[in-house]
């Protein structure tokens, strides 16, 4: 897995990462937006300027160092469709774990062809919190853990059309940079406009866990009542299910939901990193996906688990049933 370490102001982060993008030709996927798409991008930009302004500075720096138009980079880093995604996220509070620490686990299921672009970012913006996060070649993060012991990741929810607002990976990035506890992160997701629909799972080292299901039309929040919550590709909040558009692959989503519940019931009180890794990597009782229901090469392209408050994330690049989990440490800058 590609690893990137960047630190400084948002503009400096962009300069540093922009050099990596240019040197490694990671901008191969940038496409010129149509006139109508660019108009929509500028609507999103206005919302980002209010709710995550530093990310625009970072995008501008990337454009500067890559010698590309700002609007081109902006468009490719703020809008897209993630409807193929089939991720799973699980968190268990410390009182149900063997070591007394909150466990957080996430499988990222996506197109196999993109596995080489997965990046582990160690990021420390000078005005915020250091974090370990994951993404592709952009400023967003699909999930991660920050120095305060706050973890977040999301599972995409199928949506017919986007809305001017923040894409889920931009909101995740801003939360990792900014917030130390679950309540603050939840409040942020409740007040921002959302570009797409996602099921966010958030947990902190104190064991506070929340699922926040966001759509352009509304937000639903659930708190862990029995020590565990999961985010899947499905709206679970009462009164919001009509906003979901589950495709043919939806059978897998329901199977994963049942497996998570069965795993938790069978390990409650004794959950540790090994149990979390087994959940993520097993095929009979777990969540490892090889794309059996898909026509294109698809499956789990990376997996990570963490005990919050330890400063470590354990990551398997590729199918977790085939690849070893390796520890990555977050060092304070």
The residue among 78, 113, 145 that closes a domain is 78
pLDDT digits over 314-324, tens only?
A: 999 999 999 99
pLDDT at 332: 43
Residue 83 falls inside a structural domain:
no
Computed on alpha carbons and rounded to an integer, the radius of gyration of the chain in Å comes to 18
Q: Are residues 44 and 191 in the same domain?
A: no
Would you call 48 helix, strand, or coil by DSSP? helix
CB 47 within 8 A of CB 34: no
The residue among 28, 47, 78 that closes a domain is 78
In angstroms, the CA 48 to CA 193 distance is: 9
Residue entry with tokens 């440490």: 329
pLDDT digits over 18-75, tens only?
A: 999 999 999 888 999 999 999 999 999 999 999 999 999 999 999 999 999 999 999 9
Cβ atoms within 10 Å, residue 193: 17
pLDDT digits over 225-241, tens only?
A: 999 999 998 888 887 86
Q: What is the pTM of this model?
A: 0.95
Q: Give the chain's domain count.
A: 2
Q: Are residues 131 and 8 in the same domain?
A: no
Residue entry with tokens 């009164």: 239
Q: Are residues 183 and 238 in the same domain?
A: yes
Distance of CA 196 to the CA centre of its chain: 13
In angstroms, the CA 120 to CA 115 distance is: 12
Q: For residue 271, what is the DSSP state?
A: B
Where residue 94 falls among pLDDT bands split at 50, 70, 90?
very high
pLDDT at 145: 98
Does residue 81 carry a pLDDT above 60? no
Q: Which domain holds residue 270?
A: 88-329
Residue 269 falls inside a structural domain:
yes
pLDDT at 333: 38
Q: Are residues 41 and 122 in the same domain?
A: no
């Amino acid at each position: 897995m590609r690893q990137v370490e960047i630190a400084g102001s948002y503009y400096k982060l962009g300069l540093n990462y922009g050099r990596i993008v240019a040197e490694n030709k990671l901008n191969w996927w940038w496409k010129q937006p149509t006139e109508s798409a660019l108009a929509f991008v500028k609507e999103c930009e206005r919302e980002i300027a209010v709710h995550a302004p530093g990310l625009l500075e970072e995008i501008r720096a990337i454009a500067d160092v890559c010698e590309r138009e700002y609007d081109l980079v902006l468009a490719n880093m703020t809008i897209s469709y993630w409807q193929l995604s089939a991720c799973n996220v699980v968190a268990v509070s410390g009182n149900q774990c063997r070591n007394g620490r909150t466990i957080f686990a996430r499988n990222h299921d996506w197109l196999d062809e993109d596995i080489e672009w997965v990046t582990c970012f160690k990021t420390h913006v000078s005005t915020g919190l250091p974090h370990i996060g994951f993404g592709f070649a952009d400023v967003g993060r699909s999930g991660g853990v920050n120095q305060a012991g706050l973890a977040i990741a999301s599972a995409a929810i199928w949506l017919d059309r986007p809305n001017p607002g923040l894409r889920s990976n931009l909101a995740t990035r801003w939360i990792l940079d900014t917030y130390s506890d679950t309540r603050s992160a939840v409040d942020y997701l409740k007040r921002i406009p959302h570009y797409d629909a996602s099921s966010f799972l958030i947990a902190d080292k104190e064991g506070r866990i929340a699922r926040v299901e966001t759509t352009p039309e509304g937000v639903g929040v659930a708190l862990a009542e029995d020590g565990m919550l999961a985010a899947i590709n499905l709206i679970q909040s009462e009164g919001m299910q009509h906003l979901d558009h589950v495709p043919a692959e939806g059978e897998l989503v329901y199977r994963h939901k049942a497996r998570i519940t069965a795993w938790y019931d069978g390990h409650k009180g004794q959950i540790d990193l090994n149990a979390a890794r087994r959940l993520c990597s097993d095929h009979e009782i777990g969540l490892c996906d090889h794309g059996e229901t898909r026509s294109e090469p698809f499956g789990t392209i990376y997996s990570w688990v963490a005990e919050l408050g330890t400063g470590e994330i354990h990551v398997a690049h590729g199918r977790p049933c085939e690849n070893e989990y390796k520890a990555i440490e977050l060092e304070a800058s």
